[in-house]
């Protein structure tokens, strides 16, 4: 079964306090009354466009030194926070962003799918900015097997492909082949 890395209780409490500060300052609105809960936390990794086309694409992938924290309200995922560590102590963690976003629900669906799989390894969040892809990555370094679940529609107008790949367990080669077949997102184009 896939495992979630955990932060110690002090770090988790400090992150929760910082998220509360974002909300109190009105940076993000989560609605009324119901208490917010920090749910799953995932270390964040990134795969660049150059890495996607590298012969051994996962070798250069590095952790960003960031964590993704799912935020639930009334038991449902409604947002997330991102944090990073600046030093060796639990108090050196800093939340730098809090969002109300459908991405939280998409990641929650991927986590639910992984819970039903017979996958082993560490759960990570993989960002592939050149394709605007966020994937849940189950990294089994010992067995050298990796499973990826793309969490949201690819930024293309291909509903059939999206239906085939969204929230479906993909091995490394399949995941990379999907990306390699699609053009990277070009944010510089003007219509």
Is 81 domain-assigned? Answer: yes
- Total structural domains within the chain: 1
Alpha helix stretches (DSSP H) within the chain = 9-24, 49-52, 102-116, 159-165, 172-181
Spatial distance between the Cα atoms of 149 and 124, rounded to a whole number of angstroms = 11
Pick the range with the lowest mean pLDDT from 51-55, 137-141, 182-186.
182-186
Asked whether residue 191 is domain-assigned, the answer is no
Phi, psi of 71 (to 5 degrees): -115, 125
- Does residue 76 sit within a domain? yes
Considering the entire predicted model, what is its pTM?
A: 0.89
For residues 134 and 151, give the distance between their C-alpha atoms in angstroms, rounded to a whole number. Answer: 6
Banded model confidence at residue 143, pLDDT cuts 50, 70, 90: low
Is 82 contained in some domain?
A: yes
How confident is the model over 39-61, as pLDDT tens digits?
A: 999 999 999 988 898 887 777 68
Q: Can you give the residue range of the structural domain that contains 118?
A: 2-181
Share of the chain above pLDDT 90, in %: 37
Question: Is residue 20 assigned to a domain?
Answer: yes
In the predicted structure, residue 74 carries a pLDDT above the cut 50: yes
Q: Is 190 inside any structural domain? A: no
**Residue 90 domain-assigned (yes or no):** yes
Is 186 a member of any domain? Answer: no
Give the mean pLDDT of the chain: 86
């Amino acid at each position: 079964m896939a495992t979630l890395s955990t932060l110690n209780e002090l770090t988790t409490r400090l992150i929760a306090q910082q998220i509360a500060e974002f909300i109190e300052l009105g940076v993000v609105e989560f609605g009324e009354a119901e208490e917010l809960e920090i749910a799953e936390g995932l270390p964040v990794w990134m795969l660049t466009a150059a890495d996607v086309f590298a012969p051994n694409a996962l070798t250069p992938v590095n952790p960003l030194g960031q964590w993704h924290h799912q935020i639930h309200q009334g038991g449902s995922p409604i947002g997330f926070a991102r944090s990073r560590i600046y030093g060796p102590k639990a108090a050196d963690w800093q939340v730098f962003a809090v969002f109300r976003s459908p991405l939280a629900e998409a990641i929650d669906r991927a986590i639910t799918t992984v819970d039903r799989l017979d996958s082993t390894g560490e759960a990570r969040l993989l960002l592939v900015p050149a394709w605007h892809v966020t994937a849940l990555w189950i990294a089994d370094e010992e067995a050298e097997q990796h499973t990826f679940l793309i969490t949201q529609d690819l930024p293309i107008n291909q509903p059939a492909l999206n239906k085939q790949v969204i929230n479906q367990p993909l091995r490394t080669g399949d995941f990379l082949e999907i990306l390699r077949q699609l053009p990277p997102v070009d944010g510089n184009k003007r219509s």
